């Protein structure tokens, strides 16, 4: 089996992976750690039991209802037009259109974001303010205020999207910094320091098996990623083992914040049930005074 040789990404060598794992009650131990991620002295943090499971389960129930309070988009719908039909081979959905799946014209994305912003207060059962708690935790990690990013004409980027992977669905190998020059990111790159895009997410409901986050210690270019993706799940798992990926299996309510901008990563197929997560991205503003979140 051919395994891609891991090299340095175009922007320079990668540091060895390093994560800090803390319980939410010890959050102060990861205060100001965002700057360490931006400087590549730290790959990420895992904050255990950041959110109550019952509120997260309420969000899954609300989003599963018909009609859903927020429209679901095919997670693989990269392109330049509105997807008309969802592709059953991929069986992955994003509640709230994600910016990467959007187009140069942001109107559809911003309409979807408005729907998510309007739905968020009720999504977690009404009495739990998920967004406020998420902003509080991220602000400790960022060491400065974290808030949803403003958009043109008084609109707002969605601070989070919810991701649903049906049985067998995956998130393929990618890294966030490669999205900055996509047409859909043209407004975003005016508003943030684009040195590094930091990912965050929390499982709403992990699948019984699979659905792990694999993070690669090195870099390989898109053609080799595609070469890997067509391997069987077993071969790809073996390739990942040989490449010494770091495997994260967060529980419902654990918050993962990591350097998904520089480091390639993927989510393995969900098995035995669906995988639900909610998350987005953060970057400091160019003056470093605050941090914007978007999805
Ligand atoms: O599991 C998720 O929802 C997203 C994982 C990922 O690719 C990211 O957070 O950048
Ligand atoms: Fe990612």
CA dist 203 and 282 (Å) reads: 18
The pLDDT tens digits of the residues spanning 242-260 come to: 999 999 999 999 999 999 9
Residue carrying structure tokens 């601070």 = 159
User: Which pLDDT belongs to residue 79?
Assistant: 47
Most confident range, picked from 79-83, 91-95, 101-105, 131-135: 131-135
Task: Quote the tokens at residue 233.
Answer: 């799940």
pLDDT exceeds cutoff 80 at 20: yes
CA dist 49 and 215 (Å) reads: 22
pLDDT exceeds cutoff 70 at 84: no
User: Which pLDDT belongs to residue 80?
Assistant: 47
pLDDT exceeds cutoff 70 at 191: yes
Stretch 250-278: mean pLDDT: 97
Stretch 124-147: mean pLDDT: 97
CA dist 240 and 19 (Å) reads: 18
Ligand 1 atom with the smallest distance to the CA of 163 is 3
Stretch 211-232: mean pLDDT: 94
Stretch 155-167: mean pLDDT: 96
Shortest-distance Cα residue to atom 10 of ligand 1: 199
Residue carrying structure tokens 């898109």 = 222
The pLDDT tens digits of the residues spanning 35-78 come to: 999 999 999 999 999 999 999 999 999 999 999 999 998 886 55
Say yes or no: CB of residue 164 within 6 Å of ligand 1: no
Say yes or no: CB of residue 163 within 6 Å of ligand 1: yes
- Cβ contacts of residue 185 below 8 Å, gap of 6+? 99, 100, 179
CA of 12 from ligand 1 middle (Å) equals: 23
pTM score of the predicted model = 0.96
Mean pLDDT of the chain: 94
The DSSP call for residue 98 is -
Task: Quote the tokens at residue 6.
Answer: 């891991």
Which of the pair, 101 or 177, is modelled with greater confidence? 177
Shortest-distance Cα residue to atom 4 of ligand 1: 201
Say yes or no: CB of residue 277 within 6 Å of ligand 1: yes
Percent of the chain with pLDDT over 90: 87
Q: Where are the beta strands (DSSP E) in 24-123?
A: 44-48, 72-74, 92-95
């Amino acid at each position: 089996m051919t395994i891609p040789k891991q090299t340095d990404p175009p922007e320079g060598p990668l540091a060895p992976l390093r994560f800090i794992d803390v319980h939410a009650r010890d959050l102060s131990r990861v205060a100001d750690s965002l700057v360490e991620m931006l400087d590549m002295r730290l790959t990420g943090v895992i904050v255990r039991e950041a959110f109550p499971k019952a509120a997260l389960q309420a969000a899954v129930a609300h989003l599963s209802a018909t009609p859903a309070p927020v429209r679901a988009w095919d997670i693989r719908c990269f392109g330049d037009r509105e997807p008309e039909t969802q592709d059953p081979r991929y069986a992955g959905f994003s509640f709230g259109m994600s910016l990467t799946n959007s187009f140069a014209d942001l109107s559809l994305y911003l309409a979807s974001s408005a729907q998510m912003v309007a739905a968020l207060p009720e999504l977690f059962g009404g009495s739990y303010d998920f967004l406020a708690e998420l902003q509080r935790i991220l602000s400790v990690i960022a060491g400065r205020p974290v808030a949803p990013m403003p958009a043109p004409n008084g609109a707002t980027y969605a601070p989070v999207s919810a991701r649903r992977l049906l049985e067998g669905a995956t998130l393929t190998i990618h890294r966030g910094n490669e999205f900055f020059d996509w047409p859909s990111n043209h407004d975003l790159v005016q508003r943030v320091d684009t040195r590094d895009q930091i990912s965050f997410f929390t499982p709403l409901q992990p699948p019984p098996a699979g659905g792990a986050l694999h993070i690669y210690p090195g870099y390989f270019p898109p053609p080799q990623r595609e070469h890997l993706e067509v391997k069987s799940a077993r071969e790809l798992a073996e390739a990942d083992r040989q490449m010494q990926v770091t495997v994260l299996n967060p529980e419902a309510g654990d918050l993962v914040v990591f350097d998904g901008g520089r480091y390639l990563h993927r989510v393995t197929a969900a098995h035995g049930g669906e995988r639900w997560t909610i998350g987005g991205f953060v970057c400091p503003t160019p003056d470093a005074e605050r941090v914007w979140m978007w999805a």
